[in-house]
Amino acid sequence: MRIILIGFGVVGQNFAKLLLSRNDDLYALYGMKPRIVAVVDSKGSVISTSAINLQKLLNIKKTKGTVAKYENGGKKNAEDIIESVDAEVVVELGPTNLKTGEPGMSNIIAAIKDGKNVITTNKGPLALALPSLIELADYNNVTLRFSGTVGGGTPILEFAKRCLKGDRIKSFRGILNGTTNYILTKMDDGLTFNEALVDAKKNGYVEADPTLDIDGYDAAAKLVIMANWIMNMKVTMNDVNFTGIRNVSVEDIKSAIKKDNIIKLIASSDKELTVKPTEVPKNNPLCVNGTLNAVTFSSEYSGHQTIIGRGAGGMETASAVLRDLIEIREVMSRR
């Protein structure tokens, strides 16, 4: 199975490490031998007609800062590589852009139109156009998978789509952003919002620009992906009423504690799509601390089911990419 890898940051490098460490058992268990034949990062690219030496590539990225320094590396852009290099799968791990979805949107569309299966961890294109991307993939008889966009390595989408497929999910609600959950946990411990934000930055849980997390954009994007994939809705970010945690005060936290509650940023798909700070009883399964994610699904027959796990992390998200790759291999074998 030949792979084009777009994006070689934290997740991309961990994905390469995962392939190296699991090379033998991937063949033994699934009959697959993944080969990365092209890699693109923000400064350049490299193409191989057979397979790129991943350990050598990781060393070059670490010491020289770009895959373009690999032998025969260059400056060819992602779309050109997608259209010119033979491969079965494009793994798109570019940065999230919730305004236009670019450049991930163009990369995904180019791959699908060229008949290549796609795995992505990029929330931007999916939050803006998931229904049309699924339709385009179906039309071109390829598979689009994106389990790493929600829950990192925790299989939230798979749990709902497969483990509950004999039931009918009526609604779901949960914590979809680990950064805000960490901040709110620290506020519950007595810190102010600003103090908790500084602490989160110090521990590496917040980007230089924390807006996507603390103002609710990230949780809203994940909610859109879940609503489309799990509930078969046709919605985008414009359909979500969302509010972040920026205005949650110490007084709000204390008021909740007096009622034996905790404030969490809850994303909900019921009669409407909402993301907002919400008081949750301390004995509720959604009352997880730190950077954990948790989602409760309400089903017609089996009642409430909650899945909890780490919502982020390079290796955790890379494991979701590998999970999608194994599924694509299984789909290809049935065609």
**Token output for 39:** 């890699």
- For 272, other C-beta atoms within 10 Å of its C-beta total 10
* Alpha carbon separation from 245 to 69, 176, 276 (Å, rounded): 43, 13, 8
Q: How far apart are CA 226 and CA 151, in angstroms?
A: 11
Q: How far apart are CA 5 and CA 89, in angstroms?
A: 9
Assess whether 165 carries a catalytic annotation.
no
Q: Are strands 261-269 and 240-242 parallel, antiparallel or unpaired?
A: unpaired
Q: How far apart are CA 41 and CA 8, in angstroms?
A: 5
- For 271, other C-beta atoms within 10 Å of its C-beta total 7
Cα 214–Cα 218–Cα 224 angle in degrees, nearest 5: 140
Q: How many angstroms separate the first and last alpha carbons of the chain?
A: 15
* Residues with Cβ within 8 Å of residue 247, at least 6 apart in sequence: none
Please identify which of the residues 64, 222, 254, 258 carries the catalytic annotation: 222
Segment 197-200 long-range contacts (CB within 8 Å, at least 24 positions apart):
none
Q: How far apart are CA 172 and CA 226, in angstroms?
A: 9
| Residues belonging to the active site | 222
